Amino acid sequence: MERVAIIGASMTQFGKREGWLSDLLAEAALDCLDDANVEPSELEHLYTSNMASGEFEGQTGIMNMLAHDLGAMPAYTQRIDQTSSSGAAGAYAAWQSVASGASDLTLLVGGEKMTHRSTGESTDVIASITHPVEYKHGVTLPSFAGLTARLYLDTYDAPRESLGKVAVKNHKNGVDNPHAQFQKEVSLEEVLESPIVADPLRLYDFCPITDGSGALLMCPESKAEEYTDDYVLLTGIAGATDTQVVHERDDPTVMGGVVESSREAYEMSGRDPDDIDVAELHDMFTILEFLQSEDLGFFEKGEGWKAVEEGVTDRDGELPINTSGGLKSKGHPLGASGVAQIYEIYQQIRGEAGPRQVEADVGLACNVGGFGNCVLTAIMEGPQ
Amino acid sequence: MERVAIIGASMTQFGKREGWLSDLLAEAALDCLDDANVEPSELEHLYTSNMASGEFEGQTGIMNMLAHDLGAMPAYTQRIDQTSSSGAAGAYAAWQSVASGASDLTLLVGGEKMTHRSTGESTDVIASITHPVEYKHGVTLPSFAGLTARLYLDTYDAPRESLGKVAVKNHKNGVDNPHAQFQKEVSLEEVLESPIVADPLRLYDFCPITDGSGALLMCPESKAEEYTDDYVLLTGIAGATDTQVVHERDDPTVMGGVVESSREAYEMSGRDPDDIDVAELHDMFTILEFLQSEDLGFFEKGEGWKAVEEGVTDRDGELPINTSGGLKSKGHPLGASGVAQIYEIYQQIRGEAGPRQVEADVGLACNVGGFGNCVLTAIMEGPQ
């Protein structure tokens, strides 16, 4: 099977944005095409990852709108939704389009426009990601996070402060990311004194509601050098589901979708956890960074919190995690988040991460749909 | 590139159905798996094609719900949306998952649940498929159909009755389809005297609003015989966009997406229009059957209406079109329609179409998104 190269990538400013989703998608698309010096008319497939433009904006058919706005016709379009992991699902779909031979040049553009709706309206849409036997009774994503955090702290004798330190670390990284929604540090005290949302988690344990978009341009490795010498290979990518009903899981501190998707991605890339130099994890809630860092095989089960306490996952640590600022400080526009994770790894491998730069030959991104209902893991490296 | 086989297929009863979309998806999925004697736990990828479950039901994450309901975890899931051509887009995504080597066994389940909403609510969602510069002023899909029908009749000197004969033919075929929403004939007089919707088109020129689901199971050709000797190859599949703003098209009687997607699908399969023995076209409006039959290369431009008048596209004609009853009589549950088109061709090639059976070695399905904003063409044949 021929390998697939990422030859261009971009993200827009994340945060509260004016205009329509289609504006954000076009902005990211044009930046990405510029990055690779490609014209829209060259595109064969043009994929859009987005969870809910119909619900948030009352506008469907956004993938066809994007083709029109770019002048990319007759490029084939589709929209890919995998809830909060739509971005990585779109990257997997783009990978499949190239690896199957269906397209020699595929642009994926992920995005979401949410902040124009009230928090209640947005969270109503997001709650319905999970199973009605749970969310109809008020057990929504933040509730799962609180319950899981409590179970984790109790089971592994972890201090509450360790969760807060995830937020502190990721906000610190976000200061140096000009695209991040929050470019400011938070202190441990501020996290621990912020309003309670779902005990033991507080407001600063949660990512914000965000508008934004990102894009990735892919082609077969054999054609990559026609565009750039500095491409990044997507050497491993896979996804896996876990139970949709969270209370059916044997051990809710284990994310089965992370375990299984990473097992497949490691096998596909010929890499193992020790090879990973930098990782972007899905810290929609601080507790999720612990769980993923363990279920990806970086740390023993129940030891992820110690890695944060000991600075292992700091930017100057042995395995920097969320150098971009993570969802926590960068923001979480559902259809764009997984794309932005891959964009950060792409920049790190190309040595273009500026003040956030770490030493990285191989990187990993893990994008979580719902409360681990479906998870994707992607592994990237340079062409050597 | 290894070819991809369809080793199982199914559709549910189309029409007004009780329950939730997830019930319909599970029903089609289980029937399809039964058809191939496959267990849900064997699935590697499980794709869902659906346009708007969030808008119609307030439920998102339906692809993960389906994995859970089937017990198919850890199979990877995603939802594919390409508006009214979501079904064929899902088939293309499933094809890509197998052809890329990402999955050796992919189930696509397409569906939509719409009839519980008022016609106004449904058509509001559907109107937003097209561009706001048109639909905000009331120029919605039925309006485009009426305008295009008038232009076609005037340009090609076709009689109004020829449009009505599409409805008569497809309803006649639908009588023999036990899954069709309408299993009854209509007379030309009934069509021509039904209420005006968008002049010159009347109520019986339009497909109904429908609930339903369908499924397709795919694997590499080299593994197909492990499941069945009677598989069907998906030898050509492609999609193409046209302008999202319909009034920007040079000639609105030409569907650019049909022209381009079929050109690619013919090339991929090594077939040409003369090889096609049976076809399922997207007769959401009667006029669309004329346009597609011409733009697919079956008939000269402006001659499609004569083929219907002369009985060429009847079940016992030279090129039977819409033996299933078409969207017109079978119904049009957006995410399922393209799947059901492929299911009809699958049955025709396997010789399982019962009273609808025609002689067919090679078949074609054409699924139209919006008003030709994105179109997919698929070509199928037996394994000889």
| pLDDT, tens only, B225-266 | 999 999 999 999 999 999 999 999 999 999 999 999 999 999
Sequence-ordered list of residues with C-beta below 8 angstroms from that of B23, at least 6 positions apart, any chain: none
Range of the domain at A33: 4-117+209-224
Structure tokens at A25: 């998608």
Residue A50 domain-assigned? yes
Q: Write down the residue that tokens 């000197």 correspond to.
A: B157
**B58 contacts in chain A (CB < 8 Å):** 124, 128
Closest partner CB to B68 (pick from A68, A93, A244): A244
Closest partner CB to B125 (pick from A54, A92, A101): A54
Q: How far is A267 from chain B (nearest CA, A)?
A: 12
pLDDT tens-place string over residues A49-88: 999 999 999 999 999 999 999 999 999 999 999 999 999 9
CB A366 within 8 A of CB A218: no
Could you give the 3-state DSSP secondary structure of residue B137? coil
A129 interface with B at CB cutoff 8 Å: yes
CB A228 within 8 A of CB A23: no
Residue A76 domain-assigned? yes
Tell me what the mean pLDDT of segment A179-206 comes to. 98
Residue B84 domain-assigned? yes
H helix intervals, B100-140: 119-127, 132-135
Closest partner CB to A241 (pick from B58, B77, B125): B77
Residue B70 domain-assigned? yes
Distance from the first to the final alpha carbon of chain A:
18
CA distance B330 to B13: 9
Is B108's pLDDT higher than 80?
yes
Over chain B, what is the mean pLDDT? 97
Q: Which pLDDT does position B2 carry in this prediction?
A: 86
**B79 contacts in chain A (CB < 8 Å):** 80-82
Is B1's pLDDT higher than 90?
no
pLDDT tens-place string over residues B288-334: 999 999 999 999 999 999 999 999 999 999 999 999 999 999 999 99
Sequence-ordered list of residues with C-beta below 8 angstroms from that of B304, at least 6 positions apart, any chain: B289, B290, B291, B293, B294, B298
Sequence-ordered list of residues with C-beta below 8 angstroms from that of A111, at least 6 positions apart, any chain: A12, A21, A24, A25, A28, A48, A49, A50, A212, A213, A214, A333, A335, A336
* Residues within 8 A of A (CB atoms), B 80-119 only: 80-83, 89, 92-93, 95-97, 99-102
Tell me what the mean pLDDT of segment A316-324 comes to. 98
The answer to whether the Cβ–Cβ distance between A75 and B125 falls below 8 Å is no
pLDDT tens-place string over residues A170-187: 999 999 999 999 999 999
Tell me what the mean pLDDT of segment A278-307 comes to. 98
Q: How far is A350 from chain B (nearest CA, A)?
A: 27
- Domain total of chain B: 1
Residue B329 domain-assigned? no
Q: How far is A366 from chain B (nearest CA, A)?
A: 14
Residue B79 domain-assigned? yes
Structure tokens at B353: 């179409």
Q: How far is A73 from chain B (nearest CA, A)?
A: 5
Tell me what the mean pLDDT of segment B181-193 comes to. 98
Over chain A, what is the mean pLDDT? 97
Residue count of chain B: 384
B55 interface with A at CB cutoff 8 Å: yes
Residue A92 domain-assigned? yes
CATH number, domain of A100, equals 3.40.47.10
Closest partner CB to B73 (pick from A60, A63, A242): A242
Nearest Cα to A111, choosing from A258, A210, A194, A45?
Answer: A210
Residue B91 domain-assigned? yes
**A61 contacts in chain B (CB < 8 Å):** 83, 128-130, 244, 369-370, 373
How far, in whole angstroms, is CA B363 from its chain's centroid? 13
> What DSSP character marks residue B109?
E
Q: Which pLDDT does position A1 carry in this prediction?
A: 74
